[in-house]
Amino acid sequence: MAKIHPSAIVDSAAELHPSVEIGPFCVVGPGVKIGEGTKIGSHVVLTGNTTIGKNNTLYQFCSIGEAPQDLKYRGQPTRLEIGDGNQIREFATIHRGTEEGGGVTRIGSRCLLASNTHVAHDVHLGNGVVLASGAMLAGHVLVEDFVIFGGMAGIHQFARIGRHAFISGGSMVGMDVPPYCTASGYRAELAGLNTVGLQRHGFTEDQIRRVKRAYRILFRMKMGLREAISLVRAELSEDSNVEHMLRFIEGSQRGVTR
């Protein structure tokens, strides 16, 4: 049977794995499902149709699965899905999805959401993502795997952040940030490649060299983006990392940070 502090209020319809721990003064609503080994600190509120996977740690005063901050929301049955092995720190907030946005907010596995971070409705977060303290993601943001957000970074709604990107602290991102890149500035601009992150995740020197070559053609040569994409494909067509970068850019709806 789950270990529940006597002061916690847990709805009888909530589904808890027997190994779950619920701390003092928590509130757990009827639509909540919590997986094996997950620990909930004190004063945590879990509500809505919220599913939390295995071995997560939720620290005090975070709010998980509350209704989206969207004036169009009228109580439709939307949900929040959280994977395994995440750390969700003090005062973090994650809101469930909206009907217009597909109905689900999704957090991957092995992510760190530091104190005072915010993940809005319909955000999709990949695996291994880090949000430093105060970072905030507006609605409908798509974040691929292993992205790092510096403290107080802000991401505009519907923007996409490519895998292994690094967003510097205090940056305001209004357009898509391509994979492997570093973006920095009050109105964020590209500041090079996240080579340290690529090395830490096992990219070889040759792989990094090819990504660097693609970056230079796409963002540092004086040519149109379509022409640059064609040149990169002609030169580096067999590299899967480069191809992912090109497809990400081609799929942009908001425009690409440059």
Catalytic annotation present for 121? yes
pLDDT computed for residue 215 by the predictor: 98
Residue 192: what are its φ and ψ, rounded to 5°?
A: 115, -165
Q: How many CB atoms lie within 10 A of CB 217?
A: 19
pTM here is 0.97
**Which pairs from 139-147 meet CB under 8 Å and 24+ separation?**
139/68, 139/70, 139/98, 139/101, 140/101, 144/179, 145/108, 146/197, 146/201
**Can you give the pLDDT of all 258 residues of the chain as single tens digits?**
999 999 999 999 999 999 999 999 999 999 999 999 999 999 999 999 999 999 999 999 999 999 999 999 999 999 999 999 999 999 999 999 999 999 999 999 999 999 999 999 999 999 999 999 999 999 999 999 999 999 999 999 999 999 999 999 999 999 999 999 999 999 999 999 999 999 999 999 999 999 999 999 999 998 999 999 999 999 998 999 999 999 999 999 999 999
pLDDT computed for residue 220 by the predictor: 95
- Which of the following is catalytic: 97, 108, 134, 139? 139
- Which of the following is catalytic: 43, 95, 121, 164? 121
Catalytic annotation present for 122? yes
Work out the angle at residue 93's Cα, subtended by the Cα atoms of residues 91 and 94, and round it to the nearest 5 degrees.
155
Domains present along the chain, CATH in parentheses? 3-140 (2.160.10.10), 199-250 (1.20.1180)
Separation of alpha carbons 149 and 129, rounded Å: 8
pLDDT computed for residue 237 by the predictor: 87
Catalytic annotation present for 124? no
- Which of the following is catalytic: 122, 145, 176, 239? 122
